[in-house]
Amino acid sequence: MAETVKYLVIGNPARHSLSPAMQNAAFDFFGEGRPYSFRELTADELPGFAEEARGKLKGFNVTAPFKQAIIPLCDVVNEEAREADSVNTVKVIGGKLYGYTTDGYGFLEAMRTALHIEPSGCRFMILGAGGAAGAIARELKNDGAAEIMIVNRTREKAEKLAESVGGRVAAKAEAPEADCVINCTALGLGPDDDSPLAAALVGRCRAIFDAVYLPTRLQRLAREAGVKIADGRLMLLYQGARAFEIWTGHAAPLVKMQLALNRELEARK
């Protein structure tokens, strides 16, 4: 690691991440330069990275597929992250790793802002059962969701998540029954990725939240069908802002972070 790098986002892939642009805008606002970068790892490299981070980093973000794998490598995991079975933010203090999740918070703020949906009394379908899905499901449960339906390729993982939040395993065909369908799969990160929902189903949905912040086929199908759709940009913004506050104790400069995020997205078109 370069000596000036004190914060990272780790994942596989990670080079596509917009977090460096957004976080460096926040650090620069407080006169701390641009200490945030990315690093791609394999699963075998994760334990070694965790040890390296103890002495060289002040904090890091965790993205797919390591949000659950990082948990046993942390010294302390807060209750929220433990319940969600997901860590996306780690703070390094005195050589110890402290794990948090900010995904659920980021999602709720984004859903309220972009779709004007409050969880209380509403029915939700979550596509996927990984770290982000767990954090989101927990937030929905705690905010009074009437029903949480989980759809995942691996039924065992879907059952585990559903049981943890008092939800149930569902089929994609039930999507129109939900007040909001939330895509927590990675479909959309690849340029040739298909939609996690068939076009006929998308057109019957009430609202869709796609946690992928890049343009996806799911988002295009929803817009063509006139379905309310939000992408993951605001979720990324809000979860990143909370992570910044955990690391630094400063109130996140949301306007600066959002401007940097939008500029980076435009530059990639």
Q: Is 67 a catalytic residue?
A: yes
DSSP-derived pairing of the beta strands 59-62 and 89-93: antiparallel
Closest alpha carbon to 160 in 73, 62, 86? 86
Kindly list the distances between the CA atom of residue 44 and the CA atoms of 40, 138, 170, 255, in Å, as whole numbers in the listed order: 12, 29, 33, 38
Distance separating alpha carbons of residues 237 and 90, to the nearest angstrom? 17
Strand order in the sheet with 36-40: 36-40, 7-11, 59-62, 89-93, 96-100, 76-77
Distance separating alpha carbons of residues 117 and 189, to the nearest angstrom? 25
Closest alpha carbon to 160 in 187, 185, 126? 126
Cβ-based burial of 191 (10 A; exposed 0-12, middle 13-18, buried ≥19):
exposed
Bridge partners of 10? 39, 62
Q: Which of 6, 56, 58, 67 is catalytic?
A: 67
* Residues tagged active-site: 67
